[in-house]
Amino acid sequence: MTAHRPIRIAITDDNEYFRETLREVLQFESDFQVVGVWKHGLEALLGLEQARPDVVLLDINMPLMSGVEATRKLQEKFPDVRIIILSMHDDAGYVLETLKSGAAGYLVKDGSVTEVVRAIREVAAGRAMVHPRVTQTVIAQFQDRVELNDSWKEVLTPREMDVLRELASGKSNQEIAEALHISLKTVKNYIFNIMSKLDVADRTQAVLVAVKNRWLPA
């Protein structure tokens, strides 16, 4: 995506008020262009060819075709399109199903507009974005499903991995400092290094990268 071309966005939601309000809000962002607004997944499949969005915001509960099914079909037909699920649910089953279907992001609908805007920019840049409220749920579900590996050693130092494990457990910087017997400043430096090496914007995304790479849970 070039620096000068806006991020092309499509919205798919069966709630007319929600989708139109979201369209109006997103159009205030100078680097966004809303190119499609659809009522359900079937409309999205039919309209995507012409609209060619970079990012699709997709409600998980829709008539005719669920968000999970729509995600799967959209990814099969348009693999370059990045999908962000919008849901009223933070249940692990919903989250895992959509991520396994190819979604790049998962947001809860009662979150802020700022979170939606940030998520669009993150997934458009090729990263993943999951609402912090469901991150721990995702990690817990993955714990018994994957065989962990130590490929993190090619990216992180052992001490950075210690800090990343503590981040995954939900501890604050102060709690990490106390657990590892290091200063608060040292913790902040480790977290900065981890985020830089993993090319992520925050600690939640760092944990998600570790889960995806099967480094966590430890």
Based on its alpha-carbon atoms, the radius of gyration of the chain, rounded to whole angstroms, reads: 18
Q: Which tens digits make up the pLDDT trace of 86-128?
A: 887 665 666 777 777 788 888 888 878 888 999 999 899 888 7
- Rounded distance between C-alpha atoms, residue 78 and residue 72, angstroms: 10
- Rounded distance between C-alpha atoms, residue 81 and residue 74, angstroms: 8
Question: Are 105 and 119 in contact, with CB atoms under 8 Å apart?
Answer: yes
Mean pLDDT of the chain: 85
Please tell me the predicted confidence (pLDDT) of residue 136: 61
Structure tokens at 180: 């590892």
Please tell me the predicted confidence (pLDDT) of residue 89: 66
Confidence category of residue 148, pLDDT binned at 50, 70, 90 = confident
- Rounded distance between C-alpha atoms, residue 105 and residue 111, angstroms: 13
Domains of the chain (ranges, CATH numbers): 7-131 (3.40.50.2300), 146-212 (1.10.10.10)
Q: Which tens digits make up the pLDDT trace of 46-97?
A: 898 899 999 999 988 887 777 788 888 888 888 899 999 888 766 566 677 7
Residue with more model confidence, 101 or 164: 164
Buried b (16+ CB within 10 A) or exposed e, 43-52: bbbebbeebe
**Would you say residue 218 has pLDDT above 50?**
no
- Provide the terminal-to-terminal Cα distance of the chain, rounded to the nearest Å: 36
From 33-37, 150-154, 156-160, 214-218, the region with the lowest mean pLDDT: 214-218
pTM: 0.64
- For every residue of 133-174, DSSP letters joined together read HHHHHHHHHHHTT-----GGGGTS-HHHHHHHHHHHTT--HH
**Would you say residue 140 has pLDDT above 70?**
no
